[in-house]
Amino acid sequence: TDNRTNIAEVLNYIQNYYEFENLGAVVLFSDGNYNVGNNPLYGARPFIYPIYTVPLGDTTIKKDCWIEKLIYNPNQYLGNNIRLQVSIKAHQFSGFKTTLRLYKNNELIESKPIQINSSKFYQTFAFTIFEEKPGIFNYTVVIDSLPQEYTNENNRRKAIISIRSDKQHVALVSSFPHPDVGSLFTSLSTNPALNVYLITPDKVIDSLNKLHGIVLYQLPNQLNTASQLLKAISEKQIPTLFVIGTQSNLSYLNQWFPNPIVQQSKAGQFEDAYINLNVPENLFNLSNDLKETFELFPPLMVPFASYQLPANADVIAYQRIRQIQTSKPLISFTEWANGTKAGIIFGEGFYRWRLAEYYHKQQHTNVNIFFNKLIQYLLSKQKKERFVVRSMAVYNEYDPVRIEAELYNKLFEPLSDATISFVLEDPTKKQFIFTFDKNYPFYELKLASLPASEYKWKAQVQTEDEKFTREGMFVIQQANIEKQEYLTNMPLLQQLAIRTNGKLIPIDSISKLPQLLEQNPNIVPVSNSTENFITLLDIRWLLIFMVGLLAIEWFLRRYFGS
């Protein structure tokens, strides 16, 4: 009855939950069609149990023509072409013709003919669109119905695209290759609001005028002090993120700060430090899931040194050496030459965070979010608005809607005890009233799944002497993905059974399942034993009896002289 199917998540949950239990087998009843998550055949770890698959659904190929995939980027920027890629499938319609049409707000803007030339037809089409102004745009791709088609519900797909005009340019600069550089580049590239460039120190100087921020990976280092680059960056006051590692020239780096920030008693000394998020401050408004994920991450290689940051520095995370929570910063923000904003990561090896998250959760979501928040905080200027409300322009149907808010006094100090109301209005003008939850120093509101539609909102807050109001809108994008596939995915169910040493069992042979399970040699009972040790002092009557026997033996031996 759900609207999405994620087979891989179910199997991975079983894998993790029963990893140390005597799990004999898993029986999976499914049509084999997954539309969320990874392919269950390619999990992060091999399955520790056999899977017996029981195919459900329809195995009969019916006359149908449908849109299998619609691929597009929902977040675009002004000046870029919008590309929609549509994959079409058709069964048992060889020799027929139809038309693929693209609509914008119910107005036809382009069409493409489809000539079906086989009984199992597949073809990909592409539309390219250009918008001249920012906003939220609603596109629909439709296939004209064919005679005697099994269903028309899969002939239509929607694409809701948000176009913005505030893209920022960030350069990732390194003088040598390192996995950290690739990991950071990949994470930042997931943010559509950023243009990320990977470049060497000698070439980046010519591009400084168009940069909003810059990341210096282990620069200056032992082979390259990058003095000209550092001077140019400080003169232009470009926000900079420094990443310190085993190749960093710390003595030269300290010269660019008002006071030395890292002082090693002996050069070349490093140690492992785990990340300990500064939860009380929570400057990034990090979710609980992200905080829990960071508990699983391996340590960074940090300088064994004393650290001295200004009193007004913002510390995002501290170092945890083994099990000891220290006051040494691991990630922080401060200022360097000419009052330029600077972020500092005091360690290398965070590429392993990306690997660890995939190992535990088969995703990179939290690592990507964290590094993007790091860059957003670096690029953020002095707050000009005292009441800020942030929401996405487009949400997927059945996903929770998360909205954040910030409130400041006239000195731009956060106010964390206000009551912020949120009024949501649907297309029928019906209104729903909510209140933001307090999550110091921010506010957040989580709305349950909303039906696909367009919603307007208004947020209001009353301080002691002022009233603030913000308005906006967002769109819930329809997701009818369960209706896209009706045919049972037999190859996937077959391979899942073969690769795990299980079996595929037709539904009409389900009565044979108990016998098959009994014949599996790997499904065996496990016996457990428990040993308890009890001192004789706890059993006094036995102790007295044994002492009595020893006394009698001693007396008899003494009496008979042996």
Residues 337-348 have pLDDT tens digits of 888 999 999 999
Confidence of residue 562 (pLDDT cuts 50, 70, 90): low
Q: What stretch of H or E contains 496?
A: helix 490-499
Distance CA(264)–CA(334), nearest Å, equals 20
User: Do residues 242 and 216 lie in contact, with contact meaning Cβ atoms separated by under 8 Å?
Assistant: yes
With CA atoms as reference, report the closest residue to 404 among 433, 370, 371, 446. Answer: 446
Mean of the per-residue pLDDT values of the chain: 90
Whose tokens are 């029963």? That residue is 18
Q: Does 280 or 490 have the greater pLDDT score?
A: 490
Which pair of tokens denotes residue 227? 């003095």
pLDDT higher than 60, residue 378? yes
pLDDT higher than 70, residue 474? yes
The arithmetic mean of pLDDT across residues 527-533, rounded, is 85
pLDDT higher than 90, residue 423? yes
User: Do residues 59 and 47 lie in contact, with contact meaning Cβ atoms separated by under 8 Å?
Assistant: no
pTM attached to this predicted model:
0.68
With CA atoms as reference, report the closest residue to 361 among 33, 45, 50. Answer: 45
Task: Give the pLDDT confidence score for residue 234 in this predicted structure.
Answer: 93
Confidence of residue 241 (pLDDT cuts 50, 70, 90): very high
32 — phi, psi (to 5°)? 80, 0
Which pair of tokens denotes residue 410? 């006239």
For 116-173, strand residue ranges (E) read 120-129, 135-143, 156-164, 168-173
Amino acid at 148: Q
pLDDT higher than 60, residue 383? no
Q: Does 309 or 166 have the greater pLDDT score?
A: 309
DSSP conformation class of 79: T
With CA atoms as reference, report the closest residue to 434 among 463, 401, 409. Answer: 401
Task: Give the pLDDT confidence score for residue 392 in this predicted structure.
Answer: 84
Task: Give the pLDDT confidence score for residue 142 in this predicted structure.
Answer: 96
